């Protein structure tokens, strides 16, 4: 999956725990996406960076 596809996937995330859990599981099942997720989270000028941060936060809570 490319970073563009990951960004498209993250656009469907919302603040609910269920959504964050779903996206976190997706990343954990596709561990090669971690670098892209970190990159997106650091793009503070990007409107979906906070969604990447939500997913990262939930991953930390899971593991």
Domain ranges of the chain: 3-62
> If you average pLDDT over residues 13-35, what whole number do you get?
93
pLDDT per position as a tens digit, 26-57: 999 999 999 999 999 999 999 999 999 999 99
Q: Please list, residue by residue across 19-54, b when 16 or more beta carbons sit within 10 angstroms of its beta carbon and e when fewer do.
A: bbeebbebbeeeeebeebbeebbeeeeeebbebbbb
Q: How far apart are CA 47 and CA 50, in angstroms?
A: 7
Q: What is the dihedral of CA 47, 20, 27, 6, to 10 degrees?
A: -30
Given pLDDT bands bounded at 50, 70 and 90, which one contains residue 5?
Answer: confident
pLDDT of residue 4: 87
Q: How does DSSP classify residue 33?
A: G
The predicted model gives 16-27 an average pLDDT of: 94
pLDDT at 21: 93
| pTM for the full predicted model | 0.88
């Amino acid at each position: 999956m490319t970073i563009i596809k990951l960004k498209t996937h993250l656009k469907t995330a919302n603040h609910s725990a269920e959504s964050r859990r779903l996206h976190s599981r997706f990343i954990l099942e596709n561990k090669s996406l971690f670098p892209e997720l970190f990159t997106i989270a650091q793009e503070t000028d990007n409107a979906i960076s906070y969604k990447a941060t939500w997913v990262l936060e939930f991953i930390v809570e899971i593991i």
